[in-house]
């Protein structure tokens, strides 16, 4: 299994729905997904003053992130995203 280092988070992308609840079909978009499930996190968040604090996200959290922040990687034929902790905008 991949293990992120420093202040990175390993996320499995969640595909966005192609239709709304009312049945409207959304056009295809080539943008990267901006929602995903946290698969693995580094134990500590590195702070600017060289201190450390616990990460604010945990395995299993659903997170929202900037569309251009993640790096895509493929491991064992599955696609994952590696995101810096400070690029995560919110969690469920």
Token duo for residue 21: 């609840």
In a domain, 3, yes or no: no
Write down the residue that tokens 């790096």 correspond to: 71
- How many structural domains comprise the chain? 1
Give the domain range for residue 48: 8-15+31-91
In a domain, 38, yes or no: yes
Write the burial class of residue 63 (CB in 10 Å: 0-12 exposed, 13-18 middle, 19+ buried): buried
One digit per residue, pLDDT tens: the chain, 92 residues?
A: 788 887 889 999 987 766 667 777 666 655 656 899 999 887 665 555 666 666 788 899 999 998 888 889 989 888 999 998 888 889 98
Contact 8, 53 (CB under 8 A): no
């Amino acid at each position: 299994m991949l293990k992120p280092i420093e202040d990175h988070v390993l996320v499995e992308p969640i595909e966005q729905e192609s239709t709304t609840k009312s049945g409207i079909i959304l056009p295809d978009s080539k943008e990267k997904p901006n929602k995903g499930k946290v698969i693995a996190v580094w134990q500590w968040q590195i702070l600017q003053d060289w201190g450390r604090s616990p990460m604010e996200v945990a395995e299993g959290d659903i997170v929202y992130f900037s569309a251009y922040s993640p790096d895509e990687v493929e491991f064992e034929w599955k696609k994952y995203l590696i995101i810096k902790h400070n690029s995560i905008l919110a969690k469920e």
